[in-house]
Amino acid sequence: MKFDVVTIFPEMVDAGLTEGVVGRARERGVVDVVAHDLRDYTTDRHRVVDDVPFGGGPGMVMKPEPFFAAMEAIIAGRGRPQAVVLLSPAGRRFTQAEAARFAALGHIALLCGRYEGIDERVRERWATDEVSIGDYVLSGGELPALVVIDAVSRLVPGVVGDEQSVEADSFGRGLLDCPHYTRPAEYAGLRVPEVLTSGHHGEIRRWRRQQALRRTLDRRPDLLVTAALDGEERGWLREWDIGVPPTE
């Protein structure tokens, strides 16, 4: 999986991707991230990437030329990305489904803005997707780019050691995760649920599915509308006095 990030803070992007499973996947060459310094694509002595906004107003706008030059260089050097993603609070919400779509593409570029925003012609010419990671304003697109790269990389075969754990993850089935416990069986007067220490693997699987469903119902009932539920799970929802949600 290839990622090209265009940013004025390439070391910020790099630093966020050196640890953990993504860091190891990069070392192994399964994930390839290049952070391109936007200033390397300026042509003036002071490497200026911003300018005053046409029409007036506060703040500065990122100039189009360095972004155009960076994209041309990426295409020439690393091939044309299958998607060019602009990180912006005005974008579509980034979801697990969107992460899966990007993972299937194999090569994506991410454009990070700073200041008041990027000249609109960059979006017009280059962006195939505009995504938001949530409804808040940040000081730049770099942290959202890291979020996208992390979520997408985990879905690339071989990045997460245990493929089953990706499946079992929160959202793997469209539900929240079940509670997790490790030793000791009693700590600070708090006991691990007995079923988990019983050795009855069928009962353990069933308990976990039930807990995941209960937590989803309590905390994120909106997810139940699209979750893939089996007959037993629909039965539990009915027992808990909640109508089974319509499918899609």
Q: Measured from the CB of residue 72, what is the shortest distance to ligand 9WO in angstroms?
A: 22
Number of residues that bind ligand 9WO (CB under 6 A): 17
Q: How far, CA to CA in Å, does 166 sit from each of 69, 172, 179? A: 38, 7, 16
* 1 burial type by CB count under 10 A (0-12 exposed, 13-18 middle, 19+ buried): buried
Q: Which of 60, 73, 82, 89 binds ligand 9WO (CB under 6 A)?
A: 89
Minimum Å gap between C-beta 77 and ligand 9WO is 25
Alpha-carbon distance of 107 to 154, in angstroms, equals 15
Q: Within positions 117 to 146, which residues make up the interface with ligand 9WO, using CB under 6 A?
A: 117, 132-134, 137-141, 144
Question: Which one of residues 113, 123, 151, 207 is an interface residue with ligand 9WO (CB under 6 A)?
Answer: 113
User: From the CB of 150, what's the least distance to ligand 9WO, in Å?
Assistant: 14
**Tally of residues, the chain:** 248
Question: Which x/- pattern over 139-178 shows residues binding ligand 9WO (rule: CB under 6 A)?
Answer: xxx--x----------------------------------
Q: How far apart are CB 83 and ligand 9WO at their closest, in Å?
A: 15
Please tell me the distance from the alpha carbon of residue 74 to that of residue 68, in angstroms, as a whole number.
10
**Is residue 24 among the annotated active site residues?**
no
Q: What's the one-letter identity of residue 73?
A: A
Of 26, 114, 154, 209, the one binding ligand 9WO (CB under 6 A) is 114
Angstrom distance (rounded) from CA 96 to CA 100 = 6
Greatest alpha-carbon span in the chain? 71
Supply the residues annotated as catalytic: 89, 116, 154, 169
Q: Which residues bind to ligand 9WO, rule: CB under 6 A?
A: 87-90, 113-115, 117, 132-134, 137-141, 144
